[in-house]
Amino acid sequence: MKIIVVLIVLSLGFVCAQDIRVDENGSPVEAKFQPGGRIRVDLCASGAEVDGTDDPVIRVSYRPERDGVRVRINGSGDRAEIKVTGCPHPFNVKIEVPKDTGLYTRMMAGQLDIHDVAGDKDLEISFGQLDVDVGRAEQYGHVDASVNSGSIDSSAFDVHKGGLFRSFDQNGPGKYRLHAHVGAGQVDLR
């Protein structure tokens, strides 16, 4: 009986976990995604922009369109993962997500711009610039930002620091969490 239960659970997990979309031959790549979920984004070195939209969709477009670029969108329920690999230099990618979406984003090098996305944000770049339009500062319950070498310019939270190992940590009345880190470069929260 235990074996039958285990097989049923495993088969249900297989049916529920779906590979939404994989594309290697051009842009844009799209997948349906409902607002209120959480998206993990893994980006190659690039110029990247993440914009909130009213559409219940994840849309990834990029240029230049070249062989070897791979965009993969996996998801299940209110969770999704976007992975962009094989980026030539220079490379620009635009990712559109529902406005009410939590983001967990990692990028080795480049510039990452986040616009019009409400929700938790966990953003890290090893080398480069991170620009986030945070909206209203009172939406956030916890905010922390740091750079190992560089500057933090946070007009939204009235913090401006530069140099080595700079950081700030604030608590507020809101429900969202914001974590922003750049190894070497700049964090701009406005």
Per-residue pLDDT of the chain (190 residues; tens, 9 = 90+): 444 333 333 333 433 334 444 454 556 899 999 999 999 999 999 999 999 999 999 999 998 877 789 999 999 889 999 999 998 888 999 999 999 999 999 999 999 999 999 999 999 999 999 999 999 999 999 999 999 999 999 999 999 999 999 999 999 999 999 999 999 999 999 9
Assigned domain for 48 exists: yes
From CA 53, how far away is CA 51, in angstroms rounded? 6
Assigned domain for 1 exists: no
From CA 15, how far away is CA 27, in angstroms rounded? 28
Assigned domain for 8 exists: no
Query: Between the CA of residue 95 and those of 1, 50, 57, 153, what are the distances in Å?
Result: 46, 5, 10, 24
Predicted pLDDT at 40: 98
How many Cα atoms sit within 13 Å of 79 on the Cβ side? 6
Predicted pLDDT at 26: 59
Assigned domain for 59 exists: yes
Assigned domain for 7 exists: no
Helices (H) and strands (E) in the chain, counts: 1, 13
Assigned domain for 146 exists: yes
Assigned domain for 75 exists: yes
- Which two structure tokens, joined as six digits, stand for 135? 């909206």
Assigned domain for 69 exists: yes
Predicted pLDDT at 89: 85
Predicted pLDDT at 27: 67
Backbone angles phi, psi at 11, to 5 degrees: -70, -35
Taking alpha carbons only, the member of 146, 46, 167, 153 closest to residue 95 is 46
CA dihedral 63, 66, 79, 138 (to 10 degrees): -20
Domain containing 116: what range? 19-189
Helix (H, G, I), strand (E, B) or coil at 26: coil
Q: How many domains does the chain have?
A: 1
Neighbour-count burial of 179, counting CB atoms closer than 10 A to its CB (0-12 exposed, 13-18 middle, 19+ buried): middle
